[in-house]
Chain A
Amino acid sequence: KQQPQIHDEL
């Protein structure tokens, strides 16, 4: 299951 995409970029 695709986890909600957290924003890991700056």
Chain B
Amino acid sequence: MNIFRLAGDMTHLASVLVLLLKIHTIKSCAGVSLKTQELYALVFATRYLDIFTDFISVYNTVMKLIFLGSSFSIVWYIRRHKIVRRSYDKEQDTFRHYFLVLPCLLLALLIHEKFTVKELLWTFSIYLEAVAILPQLVLLQRTRNIDNLTGQYVFLLGAYRSLYILNWIYRYFTERHFVHWITWIAGLVQTLLYADFFYYYFESWKNNVKLQLPA
């Protein structure tokens, strides 16, 4: 465990907890894309199957449980909670996320490390995580203004993946056998997707103006 990875996990944890806190406290999910939250729940459900078969560490298991619990809670709040669901912007959150799931499934069947069910689902989750933020970014573009908690959520998610890239570089140089091309390329694509959001996020933060994303 290196500092980049720990910082990455903590940032990732913060992103989901910030979002869950927002939704729970102000009983609103305005600006939040349910599609992205459902995709993340699917990412965790297909990636953390090994929680029952391989024990890596207490930290690993606890974090997986927290991510599973928080992502499914967020989906439940937006779908089922009688107050929160009213603030869900169904008309604007129209990204057809099945168009993301199917290509990731096919790609996992084509490019993977081992042809086992667990490994295929794990690879699927890696590809899906890379594109899961798209419905949220599209929603932010449409709603123009974004309130700072949603902005923070996307920012923290981008920061977590950037820290993971530093972690992979660190591990590549310290553990020779550590080579995971699939994870590295998908992680890089994911971080690049955030790049333009980052640009506008820093611009607005620097000029101390409300974040405006260009249409």
Contact = CB atoms under 8 A, between A and B. Distances in A.
A8 B5 CA distance: 11
Contacts of A8: 56, 60
How large, as a class, is the contact surface on chain A? under 10
Contacts of B60: 8, 10
Contacts, number: 23
A5 B180 CA distance: 9
A6 B64 contact: no
Chain B interface category by residue count: 10 to 19
Contact of A7 (B63, B122, B164): B122
B122 A5 contact: no
Contact of B177 (A5, A6, A10): A5
Interface centre among A2, A6, A9 (most CB of B within 10 A): A9
Q: Is the interface of B mostly helix, strand, loop or mixed?
A: helix
B5 A6 contact: no
A4 B114 CA distance: 10
Contacts of A9: 5, 164, 167, 183
A9 B178 CA distance: 12
A6 B54 contact: yes
A5 to B, nearest CB: 7
A10 B64 contact: yes
Nearest to B5: A9
B114 A6 contact: no
16 contacts: A2-B177, A4-B114, A5-B177, A5-B178, A6-B50, A6-B54, A6-B56, A7-B122, A8-B56, A9-B5, A9-B164, A9-B183, A10-B12, A10-B63, A10-B64, A10-B67
Interface of B: 5, 9, 12, 50, 54, 56, 60, 63-64, 67, 113-114, 122, 164, 167, 177-178, 180, 183
Q: Which 5 A-B pairs have the closest CB atoms?
A: A8-B56, A10-B63, A2-B177, A10-B9, A6-B54
